[in-house]
Structure 1
Amino acid sequence: MTTGARPLAGTGALLGLALRRDRAMLPLWAGLLSLTVVSGAGTVGSLYATAAERADLVRSLAVNGSLRAMLGPAFGDSLGALVSWRFGVFAALAAAALSLILVVRHTREEEESGRQEMLSSAMVGRRAPLTAALLTALIANTALTGAITAGLAGPTGSATGALALGLAVGLTGMAFAGLAAIAAQLTESARAAKGLTAAALGLAYALRAAGDSATADGSAVPTRLSPLGWAEQIRPYAGERWQFAALLALAALAQIAVAYALTGRRDIGMSFLPSRPGPAAGRIAGPTGLAWRLQRGALLGWSAAFLAGGIAFGSLASGVATLVGENESTREIFERMGGQSGLTDAFLASMTGLFGLVAAVYATSSVLRAHSEETGGRAEPVLAGPVGRAHWAAGHLALALGGSALILAAAGLGMALGHGTAPGPLLGAALSQLPAVWLLGGLAMALYGVLPRAVMAAWAAVGLTLAIGWIGPALRLPDALLELSPFGRLAKLPGNPMEWRPALLLTALAAALVAVGLAGLRRRDLRN
């Protein structure tokens, strides 16, 4: 029987292959995200232990447009409603990001590498790769929904509210999985497909933020135009609105139907929006220029996001004392994250720490872009010329290390603008996170150079660092455990003196790891 007669032939085998390839990433992402949301019940319960404290928080949110823009409005003052307010938007964002990565990874990336053409020459149907990718995303989002529902049903006392929050996260992920499936048909490269979907995700967040900053009940038009706005309008634990869950499900199904229609109308490797031909004469000067050409879009996008995030956090700093009020538990968390130099400085220091944690994600992904170029077969033609391996890898390292400094500087400048203060202290505070960011980037380089098949361990290290830095202070983990993260060793700026010894030690360790990685890359065979 021909594959044309069975368009889904081979789906099971491709699904098994996808789950095997993602056997490390999926449990890490899903486990960390669900743990963050579920542990939020204990965090919120300890911060706002009484009904009066929770009611005061909701009243303060009603007049704080900046905080609503960042986290969304609170639709109730129960424990579950506040967990949904605090973690719902960011969990939905993370689920959407995971879903778009999974779908593009198993569709357009496979075509771009040439592996899909080889598989399609056997008994693999035309729509089997897309189906396997979407099923992988569905499994991931179903696991998220189930873990959040099971984890929150008991602590919050409402299985219905827990299910609503789980569906808000999982269905948002599937909506963006459908969008990524369309982008994979429209664009010619995986990078463009991810960029297009990520831009749509950023637009959805911006629309939701603009709408929520204007009204306290989520009724503004921009909020209603955003899938993230639909997710929060499900209103877990606050009179659930299941019609918005149905809207997210319909959006996902409609986009998946469009993607199926498009995939049947093009050849493998082709797209509906082909890349424009380049200039007749080359304009890329050396490996560093090539790395800049490949990564400039991502760097500019990260810089813009950090600048906007810095402005948002900076604008909240002046009112954080009013928002916290007499709540000693919240004050303690900020002081553990940002030092004991006053609540405003502690808040700003904790925010610079969060920017540092996220910058580590950029640095790791930028370093491992060299790994993607190698496994995709694009590095060999470059290295066949008079270009050394170290010189080639140094271009990506320059973008990773220098780019992380640029995005952190953007965050520091943004916080200064939002807070209305001189840029010097906050710029220095943001850049003080660089040694820890570079250490994780150096670890990625060492793994890529010496053990390229173990590069996922770099993401595991980043995930563990994020978990310690993000959840650890709220869970009141011991200081010794918090200091297992390289960020736990750094000075908490602004408001505290700079500690040069740990910063220099981390920088030296990062340099040593980079040297190990470059030495290993020189000695090993490519794609080995």
Structure 2
Amino acid sequence: MTTALGTAPGTDFAPRTGASRQLAGTGTLFRLALRRDRVMMPVWILIVSGMVLAIPGSLESVYPTAAERADAMESMNSNSSMRAMYGPVFGDSLGALSVWRIGVYAGVLAAVMSLVIVIRHTRDEEETGRQEMLSASMVGRRAPLTAALLAAFAANAAAGLLIAAGLAGRGAAGALALGLGVAGTGMLFATMAAIAAQFTESARLAKGLTAAVLGAAFVLRAAGDAGTEGGTSQAFSSGGGSSALTWLSPLGWQENLRAYAGERWWVIALVGAAIVAQGVGAYVLAGRRDVGMSFLPTRPGPARGRLGTAGGLAWRLQRGSVLGWLAGFLVAGTVFGGMADGAADIVGDSENTRDIIERMGGQSGLTDAFLATIVGMFGMIAALYVATSVLRLHGEETSQRAEPVLAGAVGRLRWAAGHLVIAFGGAVLLMLTAGLGIALGHGGDTGAVLGACLAQLPAVWVLGGLAVFLVGAFPKAAAASWAVVGICLAIGWIGPALDLPQAAMDLSPFGHLPKLPGGDASWPPFVVLTLIAAALVGAGLAGLRRRDMIN
């Protein structure tokens, strides 16, 4: 008799060395990870690489001449808000401008992809008990961690290779540097997630800790770039311009690799050393704890329960996430609101840039178009929150934590309703918070900005409704809701820059909403999208009520 790993349970380990025992079964677990992520991983890779490869063509149409690119470089480097958003521009070539526009954000996406992969195949497996079952067979102590890191490496290597190959025609050295920078940033946060998985008993908390470090890295880089003294193109292109805060951030390391602007190859060595150091730390920690345990055990709850309703339980489980999202929306809204009055200075005399902003934000005045663009981006990011919150239902079910709740007097619909109120109601709070932040930073018509933010909700709810439908009716395909939200985000972000036809833009529910503030609003799009969202939620709840729960 053989196990799923292809070996008899009683197989003798004696012929193996100590290292072989620690890594036994790594290859099989690696193949299992690739199989489980056969949909999610390609989608992430295409999103990361596709967004990078789409930027040069759009920028070439905006700044077709060397003189226009030089003027854009000077304008961006002299604007502290733009440096905080994207970093400084280190050169006036099309490649350097492309790295400035998307490099940091590609690194962020690679980091998110990596932390999801690593924690999914380490702490999440232990939390659900599957790892304990596998460990009873011929699986070494460090095999799951090795397989997870190999899966993250494969994903980052694929994204880096696609970026390097796609941009090679614009300069092989710069393309290789950008590809290595994005992949290196992803692996840096993969090993960081591996360490977080050793300290917590919850996959959700491990993801939260790694995401918090990623957010802090972005803030450090933004603060360092915004506060750089002598922020001129000459200072940046001559090799200076990076502050100590920027160097404290891993995202700042990627920026200071300076692809297409006199590459600093030694920065790759710095990234590699950090990856190795964190990887070694994760391996050491993994060998010093039992499967399923952690170095920071969960604090025991009170002797007598304090949660009397399913809604109270849902809030207790998701309150940390909701408060974190609210804080992020408030800060980001204030920053972007402060940039609105300078939109004309950012655009300058570039008619192409003006056209792109107006395609994203409507044909109203440039300030209103800029605000409408920012509001639309907040709406698409809020859709990520809703999808995450709805998928918490699926996580509770697959981890079998829902069973004890449903074994009592709580019905399925009541249990699901608690999470859905947090998801859909939380989206309302997020958009209101974003509107307040924008109003604080901009100082304009608060009512108009709040109304514009709330106008995004029907589209947000449609994507949330799709997640509910998949969780309820097709739970094995629930992760596909991430892909749909990612595609809508890509359409909204790079579609106007690529001047996609309206038929392509209408694939996203956000493409059917009026551009507010400043645009003309009519009721039919709001009513239709809200009805679609309600129908999807209803169908999902009906499926959840009738199907068997996942064991």
The TM-score bracket by the shorter chain reads: over 0.9
1:499 is matched with which residue: 515, 522, 525?
A: 522
Measured in 2, the distance between the counterparts of 1:22 and 1:349 equals 36
Measured in 2, the distance between the counterparts of 1:96 and 1:456 equals 18
SS at match of 2:304: coil
Q: Which residue of structure 2 aligns with residue 296 of structure 1?
A: 319
SS at match of 1:368: helix
Q: Which residue of structure 2 aligns with residue 167 of structure 1?
A: 180
Moved more, 455-464 or 26-35: 455-464
Matched residue type, 1:279: P
SS at match of 2:300: coil
Q: Which residue of structure 2 aligns with residue 76 of structure 1?
A: 91
Task: Quote the offset at 1:285 in angstroms.
Answer: 2.5
Q: Which residue of structure 2 aligns with residue 191 of structure 1?
A: 204
Contact 2:461 2:533 in 1 (8 A): yes
Consecutive unaligned residues of structure 2, counting only runs of 5 or more, are: 1-11
SS at match of 1:472: helix
Task: Quote the offset at 1:76 in angstroms.
Answer: 0.6
Measured in 2, the distance between the counterparts of 1:499 and 1:304 equals 32
Q: Structure 2 matches for 1:31-110, cutoff 5 A?
A: 31-110=46-125
Measured in 1, the distance between the counterparts of 2:74 and 2:492 equals 29
Q: Which residue of structure 2 aligns with residue 442 of structure 1?
A: 465
2:491 is matched with which residue: 464, 468, 488?
A: 468
Measured in 2, the distance between the counterparts of 1:411 and 1:147 equals 35
Q: Which residue of structure 1 aligns with residue 402 of structure 2?
A: 379
Q: Which residue of structure 1 aligns with residue 7 of structure 2?
A: none
After superposition, the C-alpha distances for 1:337-386 in whole angstroms (9 at most, x for unaligned) are 11000111111101111111111111111111100100111111110000
Task: Quote the offset at 1:422 in angstroms.
Answer: 3.6
Matched residue type, 2:301: G
Measured in 2, the distance between the counterparts of 1:209 and 1:10 equals 43
Measured in 2, the distance between the counterparts of 1:229 and 1:208 equals 6
1:487 is matched with which residue: 505, 510, 524?
A: 510
Consecutive unaligned residues of structure 1, counting only runs of 5 or more, are: none
SS at match of 2:467: helix
Q: Structure 2 matches for 1:92-491, cutoff 5 A?
A: 92-154=107-169, 156=170, 158-215=171-228, 216=231, 217=236, 218-491=241-514
Q: If the length of structure 2 is used for normalisation, what is the TM-score?
A: 0.94
Measured in 2, the distance between the counterparts of 1:183 and 1:301 equals 18
SS at match of 2:496: coil
Q: Which residue of structure 1 aligns with residue 26 of structure 2?
A: 11
2:546 is matched with which residue: 514, 523, 526?
A: 523
Matched residue type, 2:60: G
SS at match of 2:549: coil
Give me the CA root mean square deviation.
1.2
Percent of aligned pairs with the same amino acid: 63
Matched residue type, 1:131: T
1:26 is matched with which residue: 35, 41, 44?
A: 41
Q: Which residue of structure 1 aligns with residue 9 of structure 2?
A: none
Measured in 2, the distance between the counterparts of 1:298 and 1:492 equals 29
Measured in 2, the distance between the counterparts of 1:285 and 1:416 equals 38
Task: Quote the offset at 1:413 in angstroms.
Answer: 1.2
Matched residue type, 2:537: V
Task: Quote the offset at 1:139 in angstroms.
Answer: 0.4
After superposition, the C-alpha distances for 1:115-165 in whole angstroms (9 at most, x for unaligned) are 0000000000000000000001000110111010001111x2x10001111
Measured in 1, the distance between the counterparts of 2:114 and 2:193 equals 8
Moved more, 63-72 or 497-506: 497-506
Q: Which residue of structure 2 aligns with residue 514 of structure 1?
A: 537
Task: Quote the offset at 1:169 in angstroms.
Answer: 0.7
Matched residue type, 1:97: V
After superposition, the C-alpha distances for 1:371-424 in whole angstroms (9 at most, x for unaligned) are 010011111111000000000001111111011111111111111111122421
SS at match of 2:371: helix
Contact 1:70 1:312 in 2 (8 A): no
Contact 2:145 2:194 in 1 (8 A): yes
SS at match of 2:23: coil
SS at match of 2:497: coil
Contact 1:490 1:499 in 2 (8 A): no
